[in-house]
């Protein structure tokens, strides 16, 4: 199969991408003129061809449960955790598998082929984790799934929290998680980070910590995570998710913090729709946005990407799998609608996210890599967000996985 008349980000002219078997075999410059297709070719019609979108942060065990049994009425993170604790009592192996699989289908329909899911392991029977390990296998032809052992109710503050984390890794979690701002005390938050970093270092897992997901400017666990990372030299393998307290830190502290963050080499994930919804809830006016400093992290040369976090769960009632919606909202909320940001905004849902997930040479439009790619509906990043474009075709391992027909509008007057 060949993909013809493809535009590649950051390169002039049009290209033909030749696929042999499951790999990209050649990328040939076509010049500026569109070429006629041969039967079997996929015609990109002079629009972008990019590697697949990535979902770097979602909770697939909780999706599609909003209102079961109760709605989150306050809209806070903390009520979300309470509502989820109620729903967790009702989960079964099949319930988790059915909802996670359905949600993965929604992600695939929007061009996502790589997913990192947090899975709550503060459950003595590890029901969700066992189900997700099976789902990861069953959806292999659609998406690559990374499972994070996520201690929703704490490592130190939950009965047998440390043992449950260790067991989750032994059962096949790929990534070690944490939630230091939710531990009962500051000291427990710090010790939870040391524990989870030890666990990851010992087992070779990656790390992705829900870190400082609160408007409390005194929540300063990011510095602990960054320093533990720096000392162990684990930078590229570690991710700090949310870090929304950074939106409330004063600049004097944040200036000093950035020096450490840069030295540590950690990655950042922001979930802008989730945070604009959950944070700022204890404010009157003026009301904080409750996001981390996405533009500033990016300007400082550090790696940051966007995730959806939730789809119809106790924390967030909306969502449909479309990460481009998150990108559009994030660019607004983070003051990133400047011309230069718009030129390269797809980085935030492709290359930056792939780096966060440590996908390495499994990702990217390069000869010899897996033939995983998307045909988009627009010729560049700017036009893609402006037109609220779509992934029209998703190719995985050299086969068409998803094809979308855009709405057809007729003007009759």
Residues tagged active-site: 213
Of 374-403, binders to Fe ion (CB under 5 A) are none
Contact flag: residue 156 with Fe ion (CB under 5 A): no
Taking residues 223 to 252 in sequence order and writing x for each that binds Fe ion by CB under 5 A, - otherwise, the string is ------------------------------
Listed ranges 10-18, 126-134, 284-292, 309-317: which one lies at the site for ligand 17E (CB under 6 A)? 309-317
The distance of closest approach from Cβ of residue 156 to ligand 17E in the complex, given in angstroms and rounded to an integer, is: 16
Q: What whole-number distance in Å separates Cα of residue 292 and Cα of residue 272?
A: 9
- Which segment (4-12, 23-31, 308-316, 396-404) binds ligand 17E by CB under 6 A? 308-316
Q: Which distant-in-sequence residues (6+ apart) come within 8 Å of 164 by Cβ? A: 121, 122, 123, 124, 126, 151, 158
How many residues of this chain bind Fe ion (CB under 5 A)? 1
Q: How far is the CB of 150 from Fe ion (least distance, A)?
A: 8
State the Cα torsion 142-331-267-175 to the nearest 10°.
-30
Contact criterion met (CB below 8 Å) for 43 and 6: no
State how far the Cα of 113 lies from the Cα of 52, in Å rounded to an integer.
6
Residue 315 interacts with, from ligand 17E, Fe ion, none (CB under 5-8 Å by kind): ligand 17E
The pair phi, psi for residue 135, each rounded to 5°, is -60, -45
Residues 122-161 that bind ligand 17E (CB under 6 A): 152
Show the binding pattern over residues 212-241: x = contacts ligand 17E (CB under 6 A), - = does not: -x----------------------------
First to last CA, the chain: 42
Binds ligand 17E by CB under 6 A, chosen from 61, 228, 309, 347: 309
Q: How far is residue 54 CA from its own chain's centroid?
A: 6
Stretch that binds ligand 17E, among 47-55, 155-163, 190-198, 307-315 (CB under 6 A): 307-315
**CA separation, residue 298 to residues 45, 240, 262, 344, 348 (Å):** 32, 14, 11, 12, 10
C-alpha closest to that of 68 among 92, 44, 42, 88: 88
Interface residue with ligand 17E among 76, 214, 267, 310 (CB under 6 A) is 310
Q: Rule CB under 5 A: is residue 120 a binding residue for Fe ion? A: no
* Nearer of residues 126 and 179 to ligand 17E, judged by Cβ: 179
CB nearer Fe ion, residue 208 or residue 380: 208
| Closer by beta carbon to Fe ion, 245 or else 374 | 245
Q: Which residues of 181-217 are buried (b: 16+ CB within 10 A; e: fewer)?
A: bbbeeeebbbbbbebbbebbbeeebbbbbbbbbbbeb
By beta-carbon proximity to ligand 17E, the closer residue of 56 and 370 is: 56
Within 10 angstroms of residue 72's Cβ, the number of other Cβ atoms is 23
CB 344 within 8 A of CB 97: no
Please tell me whether residue 309 binds Fe ion under the rule CB under 5 A. yes
To Fe ion, the closest distance from the beta carbon of 213 in angstroms equals: 7
**Number of residues that this document lists for the chain:** 413
Task: Identify the DSSP state of 216.
Answer: -
d(CA 29, CA 349): 26
Pick what 350 binds: Fe ion, ligand 17E, none; C-beta below 5 to 8 Å, kind-dependent: none
Nearer to ligand 17E, 57 or 390 (CB): 57
Task: Report the site for ligand 17E in 198-217 (rule: CB under 6 A).
Answer: 210, 213
Q: How many whole angstroms separate alpha carbon 195 and alpha carbon 203?
A: 12
Residues in the site for ligand 17E, rule: CB under 6 A? Answer: 59, 77, 152, 179, 210, 213, 274, 309-310, 315
Instruction: Report the interface residues with Fe ion, using CB under 5 A.
Output: 309
């Amino acid at each position: 199969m060949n993909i013809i008349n493809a535009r590649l980000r950051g390169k002039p002219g049009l290209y033909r991408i030749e696929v042999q078997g499951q790999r990209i075999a050649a990328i040939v410059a076509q010049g500026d003129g569109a070429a006629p297709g041969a039967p079997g070719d996929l015609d990109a019609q002079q629009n972008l061809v990019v590697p697949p979108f990535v979902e770097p942060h979602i909770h697939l065990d909780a999706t599609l449960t909003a209102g079961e049994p109760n709605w989150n009425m306050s809209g806070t993170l903390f009520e979300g955790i309470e509502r989820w604790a109620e729903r967790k009592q009702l989960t079964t192996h099949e319930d988790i598998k059915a909802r996670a699989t359905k949600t993965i289908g929604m992600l695939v329909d929007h061009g996502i082929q790589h997913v990192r899911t947090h899975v709550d392991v503060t459950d003595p029977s590890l029901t969700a984790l066992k189900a997700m390990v099976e789902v990861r296998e069953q959806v292999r032809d659609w998406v690559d799934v990374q499972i994070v052992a996520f201690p929703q109710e704490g490592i130190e503050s939950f009965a047998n929290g440390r043992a449950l984390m260790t067991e989750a890794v032994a059962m096949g979690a790929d990534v070690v998680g944490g939630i230091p701002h939710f531990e009962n005390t500051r000291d427990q938050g710090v010790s939870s980070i040391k524990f989870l970093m030890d666990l990851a270092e010992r087992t070779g897992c990656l790390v992705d910590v829900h870190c400082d997901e609160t408007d409390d400017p005194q929540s300063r666990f990011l510095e602990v995570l960054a320093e533990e990372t720096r000392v162990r030299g684990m930078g590229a393998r570690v991710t700090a998710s949310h870090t929304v307290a950074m939106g409330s830190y004063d600049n004097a502290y944040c200036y000093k913090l950035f020096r450490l963050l840069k030295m540590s080499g950690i990655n950042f994930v922001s979930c802008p729709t989730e945070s604009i919804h959950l944070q700022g809830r204890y404010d009157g006016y003026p009301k904080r946005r409750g996001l981390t400093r996405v533009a500033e992290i990016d300007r400082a040369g550090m790696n940051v990407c966007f995730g959806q976090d939730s789809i119809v769960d106790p924390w967030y009632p909306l969502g449909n799998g479309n990460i481009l919606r998150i990108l559009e909202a994030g660019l607004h909320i983070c003051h990133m609608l400047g011309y230069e940001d718009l030129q390269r905004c797809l980085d935030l849902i492709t290359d930056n996210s792939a780096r966060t997930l440590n996908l390495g040479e499994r990702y990217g439009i390069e000869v010899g890599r897996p033939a995983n790619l998307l045909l988009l509906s627009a010729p560049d990043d700017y036009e893609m967000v402006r037109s609220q474009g779509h992934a029209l075709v998703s190719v995985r391992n050299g086969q068409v996985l998803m094809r979308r027909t855009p709405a057809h509008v007729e003007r009759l007057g």
